[in-house]
Structure 1
Amino acid sequence: MTIRAQVAGVGHYLPERVVPNSELEKTLDTTDEWIRTRSGIEQRHIAADGETTSEIAAHAAQRALDDAGLGPNDLDALIVATSTPDLTFPSAATMVQARIGMERGFAFDVQAVCAGFVYALANANALITSGTARRVMIIGAETFSRILDWTDRSTAVLFGDGAGALILESGTGDGSADDRGVLSVDLNSDGRFRDLLYVDGGVSTNSVGHLRMEGKEVFRHAVAKLAASAVAAMEKAGVTPEQVDWVVPHQANIRIIQGTAKKLGLPMDKVVVTVQDHGNTSAASIPLALSVAVTRGQIKRGDLLVTEAIGGGLAWGAVVIRW
């Protein structure tokens, strides 16, 4: 018998304000056609004044609880992946814990930028398989609109705000790739590439910064590293690309998504794509895509999924999971 971290519920939330590409044409030297061609993005959601990361995370959390038929005190742990917490401390996770009425267990944040949800998923899996927790909620939530330089057309058009949540619970399998739950994890980072994607300010530098990115270099690293990590995770799980039902990638850029799928030898009709509707929501993008795909009826129980993401650090990784 093998302990597996199995999916119990999923949910997502997007702020009410929708900003189409046409709105950005009014303030930036860009066009709807340019944005669509370069990124695949058609619109993004922007948090309202005073709407915080913990607030949108709590909305997604409640929807995941409803989907699972659980209450907040059925959770043993809550992990929030974010690079845009409400405050320096306490963690956004403890704020979400209070917002949803979870009065037991423990909560903490994970910061790996766009790869944050993959890292949080790996942590949740480890907590469950070690017996430390029986049921863990993982949330990816971001208000990236607060750290954008809205005069920089190379970054301002790419990002948006949102949250997605996934609940994992302890189950059992026979140790084969046919088991439901997380089958394998592959995590990586390389701090030598820090300057490719970063925020030029922070607490210890006593400054408030904005997101900065070397787009061409990030693209070059992304396709190669995401494909390699996905392959490594599949090898650990003992599965092949042909067996995969869905790739659920970080929703950063349609060209990265297409390039990675091609490198894996998988057709785009096996790839969940939602980037057109909400842009790059960093750590929120994978759980958002998972929740949307379930709502659409794409992902079904028993499907074999590969998720992969890369973000600032650089940090990247992949997870193989049977739904």
Structure 2
Amino acid sequence: MSDLSPNSTINQLQGVRFIGSGSAVPAKILTNAELSQMVDTSDEWIASRTGIRQRFIATKGEDSLTSLAVKAGQQAIAAAGITPTDLDLIILATSTTDDLFGTAGKVQGLLGADRAVAFDLSAACSGFVFGLVTASQFIRSGTYRNILLIGADLLSRWVDWSDRRTCILFGDGAGAVVLQASEQDNLLGFELRSDGKGNNLLNLGYNEDKSTYDPITMNGQEVYRFAVRSVPEVIEKALYRANLQTADLDWLILHQANQRIIDAVQTRLKIDADKAVSNMSKHGNTSAASIPLALDEWVRAGKIKPNDAIAIAGFGAGLSWGAAVFRWA
């Protein structure tokens, strides 16, 4: 149970520790070969341009954003060695909420986190990074002790399955971490950015005539140029604030949008290729879920170890982008 009261003052500054992770994906797998039966494409064409071989797709009636977020949250809570009633706050980073009024409250109820405040945060593919920075401020101010941060998206709901430019990219999933107040601060530095002038490059917009949302549209070439130009800059800013160099990093976990982007950013930063985490081939682009999904996979595989220095960076619609540097656990 938290030993910080809800009325803790801002003078009680705390550090941030990362004490548990979790993830969840639907059971259904959609391979490139199966996609080639739906649109004019092939496994070789998709893999050579994106690095993707398959993706997990939510099944109607079986999967929901809520169910995946709850599963990922339960894993993270168990890994952290706490109980749901120890949580003070739940932040759900998503752009594909089950309910336009918000899904975090339902996740809170299903987890049994009766003491926790819960809210949704929408920053598209940057959502997990923005959520991490938001959560850290509640801890550093002394307001909350234990926070569950979930990144989850079901972009398959909003894909035009006849558009081979976009339908090949996206998958569904959820990832989560538990952050806890600590005497030692393991969130070492961050940088967040937004540029609304690029909003038209990646959209999931409301259609007033149809009273629903149109499928995802994207200018892939411009998004690529934006990412390879802007992401290295925010990582370098975050490293500067962390008083670290790229050589000090053990891992680089970028939003899993395209293997070419991961390779380009890793090369520009002169980071060893084996430090650049990628699970693109299995998951595709899962938006706000992609960073915590990859993080949890590497933690559970024993690759990420306590005190490892990790840089993460998200980028996407908005336009929004950001980076954070932290030590695990």
Structure 1: segments with no counterpart, 5+ residues: 174-178
Aligned equivalents of 1:309 and 1:270: distance in 2?
17
Match of 1:168 among 179, 192, 201: 179
Q: Does 1:194 align with 2:199?
A: yes
In the alignment, residue 23 of structure 2 is paired with which amino acid? Answer: H
Is contact 2:108–2:116 with CA below 8 Å preserved after alignment? Answer: no
Q: Does 1:32 align with 2:43?
A: yes
Match of 1:9 among 7, 11, 20: 20
Shift of 1:208: 2.2
Query: Once the two structures are superposed, what CA deviation does each residue of 1:104-145 show, in whole Å capped at 9, x if it has no partner?
Result: 120011101000000000001111001111110100011100
Match of 2:99 among 65, 87, 93: 87
Aligned equivalents of 2:209 and 2:96: distance in 1?
16
In the alignment, residue 29 of structure 1 is paired with which amino acid? Answer: D
Query: Once the two structures are superposed, what CA deviation does each residue of 1:264-306 show, in whole Å capped at 9, x if it has no partner?
Result: 1112101111111110000000000000011121110000000
Match of 2:272 among 262, 267, 273: 267
Aligned to 2:29: 18
Q: Does 1:42 align with 2:53?
A: yes
Query: Displaced runs of 4+ in structure 1, greater than 4 A?
Result: 202-205
Q: Does 1:257 align with 2:262?
A: yes
Query: Once the two structures are superposed, what CA deviation does each residue of 1:176-225 show, in whole Å capped at 9, x if it has no partner?
Result: xxx5x211111000000011001132689833211000000000000111
Aligned equivalents of 1:246 and 1:100: distance in 2?
31
Match of 1:137 among 148, 160, 181: 148
Among all aligned residue pairs of Structure 1 and Structure 2, give the percentage whose two residues are the same amino acid.
Answer: 42
Structure 2: segments with no counterpart, 5+ residues: 1-11
Aligned equivalents of 2:208 and 2:171: distance in 1?
23
User: Normalized against structure 1, the TM-score is what?
Assistant: 0.95
Match of 2:66 among 41, 48, 54: 54
Aligned equivalents of 1:278 and 1:306: distance in 2?
20
Match of 1:282 among 274, 287, 292: 287
Aligned equivalents of 1:75 and 1:212: distance in 2?
37
Partner SS, residue 8 of structure 1: strand
Q: Does 1:108 align with 2:113?
A: no
In the alignment, residue 221 of structure 2 is paired with which amino acid? Answer: K
Query: Once the two structures are superposed, what CA deviation does each residue of 1:11-50 show, in whole Å capped at 9, x if it has no partner?
Result: 0001000111100000111000010000000100001112
In the alignment, residue 100 of structure 1 is paired with which amino acid? Answer: L
Aligned equivalents of 2:82 and 2:207: distance in 1?
38
Q: Does 1:155 align with 2:166?
A: yes
Which piece of structure 1 moves more, 267-276 or 278-287?
267-276
Q: Does 1:317 align with 2:328?
A: no
CA RMSD after TM alignment = 1.4
Aligned equivalents of 1:229 and 1:202: distance in 2?
34
Aligned equivalents of 2:302 and 2:65: distance in 1?
28
Partner SS, residue 154 of structure 1: coil
In the alignment, residue 290 of structure 2 is paired with which amino acid? Answer: S
Partner SS, residue 188 of structure 1: strand
Is contact 1:81–1:112 with CA below 8 Å preserved after alignment? Answer: yes
Query: Once the two structures are superposed, what CA deviation does each residue of 1:1-20 show, in whole Å capped at 9, x if it has no partner?
Result: 97321011000001000111
Which piece of structure 1 moves more, 63-72 or 78-87?
63-72
Change (3 A) 1:282 1:204: farther
In the alignment, residue 227 of structure 2 is paired with which amino acid? Answer: A
Change (3 A) 1:100 1:202: farther
Aligned equivalents of 1:208 and 1:163: distance in 2?
22
Q: How many residues align structurally? A: 316
Query: Once the two structures are superposed, what CA deviation does each residue of 1:141-160 show, in whole Å capped at 9, x if it has no partner?
Result: 11100000101000000000
In the alignment, residue 221 of structure 1 is paired with which amino acid? Answer: F
